[in-house]
Amino acid sequence: MGNRMIKYLLRRLAVGFITLLGIVVLVFFSSRLTGSPIEAMYPDGLEPGQLELFNAKYGFDKSYADQFVIYLKNLLHGDFGESIRERRDVRAILTARSLETLRLGVWAFALSVTCGISLGVCIALNRESFAVSIANNVMALLFSIPNFIIAIFLMLLFSFKLKILPSQGGGSALHYIMPVACFSLGPTISIAWYVKNGILETISQNYIRTAVAKGLGKARTIIGYAFRNALIPVITQVGMVIVDIVTGSLVIETVFSWPGVGYTLVNAVLDRDFPVVQGIILFLAGIVIALNFLLEILCMMVDPRINREAAA
Amino acid sequence: MKKFGRICSNRVIDRVIVSMAILAALLTVFPQTVSAAERSGDPSAELRIGVQTLPDTLDANASVSNAGIQVYYNIYDTLITRDSSSKTLAFKPGLALEWKQTGEFTWEIKLRPNVKFHDGSTMTAEDVAYSLNRVIAEEDPAYVTAHSYLLANFREFEVVAPLTLAAHTFKNEPLFEHLLSDPNAGVTSKNYVKKVGIDKAALAPITTAPYKVAVFEPGQKVELERFDDYWGAPAPFAKVSFTLIPEIASRITAIMTGEMDMITNIPPDQDKVFEGNDKITLIGTVFPMYHIYCFVTSNPVTDNAKLRRALDLAIDRQAITDSLWEGKAEPAVAYQFKNYGDTLYFPDKEDIEYNLEEAKKLLAESDYNGESVQIYNVSNYYTYADLAAQAVIDMWKKIGVKGELVEVDSYTAIDRKKAGIRTWSNPLYYNDPMGVIERHWSPKGEAANQKEFLPTEEYVRQFEIARYSPNSQERVKALRWMLDYFRSETPFIYLYKPYESLAVRRGIDYQIPFNLRAHTLGLRSGEIKASGR
Amino acid sequence: MSLIARMPSAVKICFVILALILFCAVFAAPLAPYGPDDTQLRERNTPPTMFKGSWAHIFGTDALGRDIFSRLLHGTKISLSMAAVGLTVGGTYGVVLGLTAGYFGGVWDKTVLALVNFQQSVPYILIVLLFVVVFGRSIPVLMVLVGMARWETYAKLLRNIALSVREKQHVAAAVTYNASAFRIILRHILPEVRSQLVVLLMLNFPAVLLLESSLSFIGIGVQPPTATLGRMVGEGRTALMTCPWVAVVPTIVIVTLSYCIQRIGEWARDELDVRMDMGGAR
């Protein structure tokens, strides 16, 4: 059985790599369709002959196929290339920027998972209470507001008006409050809904009803049985939280002037700084794929049934 | 088996959550947030500036952008400097002590002795010659821009003695001081660049300026420190930081909360946020720059000079500046800048007017037949350009011309087969008519190259005189001829000089420096001072 | 009749509000007091009537003196049609892929699964970003891109259902009788998923509206001066300190729209007794 499991995981790993390769191909060629990074660098226009010089410097005068082969070769040596705008190694940009997003993302992740799960359980337990129905509505409302509006509103309220929280940078614990809150809002709500639905679904199943009928307390039953069963879809949902955080970072980092991956990526795409676009997307996709892989292992540990299914 | 699953699940989840929390705590290192100034109580210890854009490179020779000039002026010395405290144009010795024209095409430059670079080495003629010759030789493609608008007339800078240079030009150079006092002709250390390469040096330049670069994180911040061995008056601040804060609401909040001492790029509609706030001073400026419409005169719709002239006459510039710019931008009255000084500014050529009658008359004489005049605008590039274009299109309706705004993402996306007009800006690079004309309307420039501007042979001849003639009377005559040409041909429409504010906290004395390029932040001695908190 | 009677009053209200907004959107042109792009430079940034503004502009005007109410009507129309067309495109794409993957299985199934994985591992907004830069920012392009946002949710749902339906006896029988794949899908599988699909579409709706506004924030939304809800919010945000109504009014419309549709969707899910895993839709 152990052998089978390893085989299964190896197969998943291979699929992950192929996906990654697909992403490299897609991003490499589609980003080149967007136009010249050099022309984007000179919005007022280039001098005659300047474009050709630049193209020669960065190898853009070669065919796409040649460029791709060179890129892949370098990639195998761990070389992501050099940013055209910033004239420095993409790896340096990646480490600096991803660390900044990670600082926020880890908190946002922990917060949205813990809050989301407890909120979901809470709502599922007290489905009929008035407070919960209000909470439900508030969540639905908050979920529909564009996140940059929430971010700017929080900043105007807590920094501009009340002057109790700093508005930009990441110097102290206080600096983290607003960005982390904005980052985790969406994922918290979606996890809570997920958990709630999962629990409600399991509650409706027979064995829970039996357990309750046998005299076990309702809350205990839910936490003991229903929650665990509801957990598996939640774990798969957690992978989506990462994507949510990255998506949110595109917008929220700009508002709080947080020099993270999202802000850098948007600008790199608009500037057509191919090496940076490729590097960051590859890196993000790699993280998401790796995390999904780890979560899958986690699922197996939580629920041995999946183990058997996977092996079968 | 089931039991195992349960135990495992709880433990695993617990562990994951605990380890996440630990990881989060580890990643979140909280450095000191109190600014150096607050810690020491000395107001001149640190100046924190929140900016809308940061340069991608700190190689002043490689970028002529507005984002760059904010920083470059403070970290590069030039051979000659402009007096930033004088309302009239005056040049002062910089790295050069004296300079004189020794032949028709030769200048001799004597350098200041004992000037130290940030790495402790001493500056020689080798460094100056290298810094400028690499631009002339276009050692990096990025140097082509600075070469074309500053050093195009220079053949070579030759080292004559350790502290003496000879500058060789192709033609006579009446604008010698103007050209060599621009930060884009800044001087850097030859040995350093040779050692680390052009790309690395662009991230951490070594120069002779009063500030040295301590930290440069592109897209995030630039931190400067006072250079103690500076040859001139020491820098007013021990530390200066430029932090990128792209959102305007965030920038304003940052100065309100005291997180920043100065912020830039405040559009005029935000000015009222600062009303009644005595802790913050708003410093507004009208830039030496026009927002303009560049006609694509090779386009079949806009190839008619009478139509172009009619479109110009139908624009009520005052209405646009009054409304959109809250009355703070300056509507164009002439195709000139007052900054040229009295000898080169011609008040009798203040001939821009709003005249619907004349516009209708010219339109009737033109071959215009209801075609759509497309205005191409690069999104989010020029402040309010999209709004102004919509207002202009509304105005053209009054004379019966159909306008259309096309937003594109980049300059490249401008389709010159369809575009009748593209939005552009004409900044004044130095205080001479050529400071705007050579860069934008040279017969070999970008507009001519793209077949937007189709100069006549006579224009080319007059341009040569206006640009290179040693005889100032001849220059005046040629310049007047060119203004008439711009008037009759209308290859472009000057709209207004944009307005922008910056804000400083109370206790910092600052005013916009004179004679420097738009967007320059003057942080050198005598230009800014911290008098208290 | 019994359906309406069973409906909770909150859902009834949602229906009424939604109908009202739809009505306004459909009749935007006759209802709007001004053209959506008409600039009145002398009446810039006037506050809404409720906040000491004039009756000429009930929701105030923006930086160009354009009437926000008129822009709102036209913007809602464009945003709603973008969402509708987009959801149809994305839904069809997802449904076709999911159905065929579940039905035919094999290599095709694996390919579709790989595509779904791909979609889940790259933040979608990045793909949109790339494509907008390539194909421009016209409304049709954005409709397709925005609509494709959550195709993988349809594909996953449909694939699982198709898989399970295929095992059912009457379908298995049809397969053995050599009925064409098209016929089987149309006759036996699609009817089983109709209700799920409707619910999924409704729950995906806010995501589409929000994506459009995020694009405007980044600066790659629909071409100006075209008004859409997202663009109005994205443009108005810079004036939040001085003229908050410019951004707040369209935000309220977005929130109302997505809230009502979400509530109705949830109700429909319970009513139709649809079982599905639906997390958030952002």
Note the pLDDT of residue B181.
94
- In the CATH hierarchy, which top-level class contains the domain B76-190? alpha beta
**Partners of residue B226 on adjacent β-strands:** B211
For the cut 90, the answer to whether the pLDDT of residue C105 exceeds it is no
Look at A168 and B259 and tell me if their CB atoms are within 8 Å: yes
Helices C124-135 and A2-33 pack at an angle, to 10 degrees, of 30
Cβ–Cβ under 8 Å, residues B337 and B436: yes
Amino acid at C169: Q
Highest mean pLDDT among A125-139, A181-195, B51-65: B51-65
Please state the rounded mean pLDDT for residues B148-157. 92
Rounded Cα distance between B301 and B375, Å, is 12
What local confidence, expressed as pLDDT, does residue C273 receive? 62
Query: Stretch B249-268: mean pLDDT, rounded?
Result: 90
pLDDT of C232 over the 90 cut: no
For B372, counting Cβ atoms within 10 Å of its Cβ (0-12 exposed, 13-18 middle, 19+ buried), the class is middle
The predicted pLDDT at position A229 comes to 66
Facing residue for A146 by CB, picked from C120, C129, C254? C254
Q: What integer is the mean pLDDT of A248-266?
A: 84
| Chain C residue with minimum CA distance to B249 | C238
Residue A179 φ then ψ, to 5°? -60, -45
Contact A252/A177 with Cβ under 8 angstroms?
no
- Domain interval for residue A264: 90-311
CB-based contact C130 A30, cutoff 8 Å: yes
Diameter over CA atoms, chain A:
86
pLDDT at residue C177 greater than cutoff 80: no
pTM: 0.85
Beta bridge partners of A89: A82
What is the average pLDDT score of chain C? 79
What pLDDT score was predicted for residue B479? 95
% chain A with pLDDT above 70: 84
B143 CA: distance to closest CA in chain A (Å): 9
> Is the pLDDT confidence value at C281 over 90?
no
**Does B128 touch chain A if contact means CB atoms closer than 8 Å?**
no
Angle between helices B472-489 and B305-313 (to 10 degrees): 90
Contact B201, B494 (CB under 8 A): no
φ, ψ of residue B337 to 5 degrees: the values are: -115, 140
Contact across the interface for B253 and A303, Cβ inside 8 Å: no
Residues of chain B neighbouring C38 (CB-CB closer than 8 A)? 394
Position B3 scores a pLDDT of: 38
A273 assigned to some structural domain: yes
Question: Which of A144, A191, A289 is facing C279, going by the closest CB pair?
Answer: A191
Minimal Cβ distance to B249: which of C38, C44, C241:
C241
Better pLDDT: C157 or B496 = B496
Q: Do C63 and B319 touch (CB under 8 A)?
A: no
A contacts of C126 (beta carbons < 8 Å): 250, 265, 269, 281
Residues 170-209, chain A: which have Cβ within 8 Å of B? Answer: 171-173, 175-176
Chain A interface test: which of B412, B415, B425, B452 (most A C-beta within 10 Å)? B412
Which uninterrupted H or E stretch holds B134? helix B125-136
Q: What residue type is A277 in one-letter code?
A: V
Angstrom distance (rounded) from CA A35 to CA B142: 18
Answer yes or no: are the C-beta atoms of B244 and B221 closer than 8 Å.
yes
* pLDDT > 50? residue B1: no
Q: Does B319 touch chain C (CB under 8 A)?
A: yes
Residue C277 domain flag? no
Confidence at residue A220, expressed as pLDDT on a 0 to 100 scale? 62
Question: Residue A210 pLDDT > 80, yes or no?
Answer: no
Model confidence at C178, in pLDDT bands (50, 70, 90)? low
Is the confidence at residue B504, as pLDDT, over 60? yes
Question: Hey, are the CB atoms on A270 and C217 less than 8 Å from each other?
Answer: no
Burial C157-195, CB ≥16 within 10 A → b, else e: bbbebbbebbeeeebeebeeeeeeeeebbeebbbeebeb
Q: Which of C37, C219, C240 sits opposite B379 (nearest CB)?
A: C219
Region C69-93: what's the mean pLDDT? 87
Query: How far from A165 is each of A158, A159, B111, B410, CA to CA, in Å?
Result: 6, 5, 52, 38
* Location of each CATH 3.90.76.10 domain in chain B: 76-190
| Lowest-confidence pick of A122-131, B165-174, B481-490 | A122-131
Q: Is the pLDDT of residue C264 over 70?
A: yes
Q: What is the pLDDT of residue A144?
A: 83
pLDDT at A284 over 50: yes
For residue B394, which residues of chain C lie inside 8 Å, CB to CB? Answer: 38-39
Which of these CATH numbers, 3.40.250.10, 3.30.1320.10, 3.90.1150.10, 3.40.190.10, describes B5-52+210-285+500-530? 3.40.190.10
Mean pLDDT of B380-402: 88
pLDDT value at residue B105: 93
pLDDT at B20 over 70: no
CATH number of the domain where residue A232 is located: 1.10.3720.10
Q: What pLDDT band is residue A294 in, cutting at 50, 70 and 90?
A: confident
Torsion sign (Cα): B485, B488, B493, B499: positive
Pairwise pLDDT comparison (C139 vs B367), residue with the higher score: B367
pLDDT over 80 at C167, yes or no: no
Record: fold of B289-497 = Dipeptide-binding Protein; domain 3 (3.10.105)
Chains near C with 3+ CB pairs less than 8 A apart are: A, B
For residue B502, the model assigns a pLDDT of: 92
State yes or no: pLDDT of B399 exceeds 90.
Answer: yes
Q: Where exactly does CATH 3.40.190.10 map onto chain B?
A: 5-52+210-285+500-530
Domains in chain A: how many in total? 1
Of residues B168, B173, B179, B165, the one with CA closest to residue B128: B165
The whole-number pLDDT of residue B533 equals 64
Characterize the bridge pairing of strands B221-226 and B402-408. Answer: unpaired
CA distance B240 to A117: 46
pLDDT of residue C277: 44
Q: HSE, CB side, 13 Å, CA atoms: give it for residue B99.
A: 23
More confident residue, C155 or B532: C155
Q: Is the pLDDT of residue B29 over 70?
A: no
Give the per-residue pLDDT at C279.
39
Neighbours of chain B (3+ CB pairs under 8 A): A, C
The answer to whether ipTM exceeds 0.85 is: no
d(CA B35, CA B508): 16
Determine the pLDDT at residue B451: 87
The pLDDT score that the predictor gives to residue C179 is 64
SS3 B223: strand
C279 domain-assigned: no
Mean pLDDT, residues B408-412: 72
Encoded amino acid at A105, one letter: G
Residue C281 lies in a domain: no
Query: In the predicted model, what is the mean pLDDT of chain A?
Result: 80
pLDDT, averaged across chain B:
88
pLDDT range class, residue C172, cuts 50, 70, 90: low
Q: Say how many CB pairs under 8 Å bridge B and C.
A: 55
Task: Nearest by CB to A47, from B28, B148, B243: name it.
Answer: B148
pLDDT: is A163 or B209 the higher one?
B209
In B436-507, beta strands by DSSP E: 492-497, 499-505
| Predicted local distance difference test score (pLDDT) of residue A230 | 63
Contact A148 C217 (CB under 8 A): yes
**B123 by DSSP, 3-state: which?**
coil
Confidence of residue B28 (pLDDT cuts 50, 70, 90): low
With respect to residue A71, please indicate whether it lies within any of the assigned structural domains: no
Q: What is the pLDDT of residue B187?
A: 95
User: Which pLDDT score is estimated for B24?
Assistant: 62
Q: Mutation test of the interface with chain C: which of A149, A155, A197, choosing the one with the most C Cβ atoms within 10 A?
A: A149
Could you give the percent of chain C with pLDDT greater than 90?
Answer: 5
| pLDDT tens-place string over residues B77-111 | 999 999 999 888 899 999 999 999 999 999 999 99
- Contacts of residue C141, Cβ cutoff 8 Å, sequence gap at least 6: C131, C132, C135
In this predicted structure, the answer to whether residue B2 has a pLDDT above a threshold of 50 is: no
Rounded distance between C-alpha atoms, residue C37 and residue A152, angstroms: 27
Q: Do A39 and B446 touch (CB under 8 A)?
A: no
Q: Does position A35 have pLDDT exceeding 80, yes or no?
A: no
Give pLDDT, residue A209: 63
pLDDT surpassing 60 at residue A305? no
Kindly state whether residue C276 falls inside one of the protein's structural domains: no
Q: What is the mean pLDDT of residues A265-292?
A: 84
Partners of chain A (3+ Cβ pairs below 8 A): B, C
If DSSP codes are grouped into helix, strand and coil, which group holds residue A127? Answer: coil
Beta-bridge partner residues of B496: B291, B331
Put simply, the answer to whether A237 touches C279 (Cβ < 8 Å) is yes
Percentages of chain B per state (helix, strand, coil), in multiples of 5: 35, 25, 40
Environment class of A304 (CB within 10 Å of its CB; exposed 0-12, middle 13-18, buried 19+): middle
* Residue A147 placed within a domain: yes
The answer, yes or no, to whether residue B8 has pLDDT greater than 50, is no
pLDDT of residue A212: 63
Note whether B405 contacts C39, CB cutoff 8 Å.
no
Q: How many domains does chain C have?
A: 1
pLDDT at A214 over 70: no
Confidence of residue A312 (pLDDT cuts 50, 70, 90): very low
pLDDT value of residue A170: 72
CATH of the domain at C76: 1.10.3720.10
Mean pLDDT of B282-310: 92
Instruction: State the pLDDT confidence band at B6, using cuts at 50, 70 and 90.
Output: very low
Q: Which residue has the higher pLDDT, B429 or B446?
A: B429
